[in-house]
């Protein structure tokens, strides 16, 4: 069986990788300026490769459940356009390249963070999805690490602004993913993946958690101002984006809020993140 380059690219989940590229670049940009171009290139390249490796290995492990969900059944493995061993080899090769690249060409701390992200995503989050809805919080850890890789690549240390970038990414993933599970809960059940809306009383709990985590997200996003990383322009943008996101999330507590509300909240979450990170980067320039 011949593997098409487009299928290898699909293993890397290009849309997720593009988001990672943006958040990693934000960590680099917010750190003190004057970085060598070599560091910027190797940081972005290494982070993109480690995320692509994690995604490829995740697809290898979840190929059977992917075949049972409409949004994933056309991926290369469940659609049988690729041999599983090809995906496994692809993921392992990318991991073998990216971790040493970040460690030796960028720094030990970015390399360590990338290793934590890879291991926690592939070996903890992926199998845990079949056992507990708490997998969401485990999966949010590696998803929040890329901007911290960017920050530590520039500073060689963990600082409060970098930790806040991590916290914003971590908190954002909860309402973002819960919204998906609310309008695709039947698919997750069919695939044998445990999500909160499919647990007893879980749909109401999921809607409450969307509000709780969005409140925390908005509060944390504003902390860049008192620590001096951002100023009035960012404060206005973060407040408007945050209150819009929170206000629509609160509509989910109504009895008549259904799948359409959840889908729209998911789309709104995709708009919120680049607005906040973009405003932060513009304020820093």
* CATH code at position 118: 1.10.357.140
Q: In the structure encoding, which two tokens stand for residue 19, read together?
A: 């988001």
Q: What average pLDDT does the segment 248-275 reach?
A: 94
* Calpha distance 285→279 (Å, rounded): 10
Q: What average pLDDT does the segment 81-110 reach?
A: 94
- The pLDDT-based confidence of 236 (bands split at 50, 70, 90) is very high
Are 163 and 243 contacting, i.e. CB atoms less than 8 angstroms apart? Answer: no
Q: What average pLDDT does the segment 193-200 reach?
A: 93
- The pLDDT-based confidence of 2 (bands split at 50, 70, 90) is low
Cβ neighbours of residue 208 under 8 Å, at least 6 residues apart?
A: 253
Domain hosting 209: range is: 159-285
DSSP state of 104: I
- Verify that 1 and 85 share a domain, yes or no: yes
- Verify that 110 and 203 share a domain, yes or no: no
Q: What average pLDDT does the segment 168-175 reach?
A: 97
- Verify that 169 and 44 share a domain, yes or no: no
pLDDT value of position 68: 87
- Verify that 242 and 280 share a domain, yes or no: yes
Residues in the chain, how many?
Answer: 285
Report whether pLDDT(33) > 90.
no
* Residue 71 belongs to some domain of the structure: yes
Q: What average pLDDT does the segment 216-234 reach?
A: 95
SS3 110: helix
- Verify that 120 and 187 share a domain, yes or no: no
CATH number of the domain that residue 193 is part of: 1.20.120
* Residue 152 belongs to some domain of the structure: no
Cβ neighbours of residue 267 under 8 Å, at least 6 residues apart?
A: none
- Verify that 98 and 170 share a domain, yes or no: no
* Calpha distance 144→151 (Å, rounded): 12
Span 96-143, pLDDT tens digits? 999 999 999 999 999 999 999 999 999 999 999 999 999 999 999 999
- Verify that 164 and 115 share a domain, yes or no: no
Q: In the structure encoding, which two tokens stand for residue 238, read together?
A: 């973060």
* Residue 123 belongs to some domain of the structure: yes
Q: In the structure encoding, which two tokens stand for residue 109, read together?
A: 């701390």
Query: Comparing 46 with 31, which gets the higher pLDDT?
Result: 46
Q: What's this model's pTM, rounded to 2 decimal places?
A: 0.93
* Calpha distance 62→81 (Å, rounded): 15
Are 183 and 262 contacting, i.e. CB atoms less than 8 angstroms apart? Answer: yes
Query: Comparing 1 with 148, which gets the higher pLDDT?
Result: 148
- Verify that 4 and 91 share a domain, yes or no: yes
- Verify that 59 and 112 share a domain, yes or no: yes
pLDDT value of position 1: 59
* Calpha distance 27→168 (Å, rounded): 12
Give the residue from 72, 157, 73 showing the smallest Cα distance to 113: 157
- Verify that 7 and 96 share a domain, yes or no: yes
Q: What's the number of domains the chain is made of?
A: 2
Average pLDDT over all residues of the chain: 93
Give the residue from 130, 208, 219, 221 showing the smallest Cα distance to 174: 208
Report whether pLDDT(78) > 80.
yes
Tell me how many degrees the CA angle 138-142-147 measures, rounded to the nearest 5.
140
- Verify that 3 and 99 share a domain, yes or no: yes
* Calpha distance 50→117 (Å, rounded): 8
pLDDT value of position 91: 94
Cβ neighbours of residue 6 under 8 Å, at least 6 residues apart?
A: none
* Calpha distance 38→31 (Å, rounded): 16
């Amino acid at each position: 069986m011949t593997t098409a380059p487009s299928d290898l690219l699909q293993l890397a989940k290009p849309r997720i990788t593009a988001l990672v590229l943006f958040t990693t670049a934000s960590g680099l940009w917010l750190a003190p300026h004057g970085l060598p171009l070599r560091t910027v290139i190797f940081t972005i390249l290494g982070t993109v490769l480690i995320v692509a490796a994690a995604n490829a290995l995740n697809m290898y492990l979840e190929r059977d459940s992917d075949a049972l969900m409409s949004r994933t059944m056309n991926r290369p493995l469940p659609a049988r356009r690729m041999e599983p061993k090809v995906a496994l080899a692809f993921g392992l090769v990318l991991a073998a390249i990216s971790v040493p690249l970040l460690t030796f060409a960028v720094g030990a701390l970015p390399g360590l963070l990338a290793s934590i992200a890879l291991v926690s995503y592939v070996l903890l989050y992926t199998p845990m999805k079949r056992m507990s809805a708490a997998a969401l919080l485990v999966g949010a850890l590696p998803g929040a690490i890329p901007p911290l890789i960017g920050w530590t690549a520039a500073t060689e240390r963990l600082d409060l602004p970098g930790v806040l970038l991590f916290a914003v990414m971590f908190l954002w993933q909860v309402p973002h993913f819960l919204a998906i599970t609310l309008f695709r809960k039947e698919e997750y059940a069919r695939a044998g993946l445990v999500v909160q809306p499919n647990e007893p009383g879980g749909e109401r709990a999921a809607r409450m958690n969307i509000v709780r985590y969005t409140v925390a997200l908005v509060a944390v996003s504003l902390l860049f101002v008192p620590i001096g990383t951002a100023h009035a322009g960012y404060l206005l943008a973060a407040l408007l984006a945050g209150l819009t996101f929170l206000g629509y999330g609160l509509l989910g507590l109504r009895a008549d809020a259904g799948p359409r509300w959840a889908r729209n909240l998911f789309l709104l979450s995709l708009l919120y993140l680049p607005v906040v990170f973009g405003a932060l980067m513009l304020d820093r320039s």
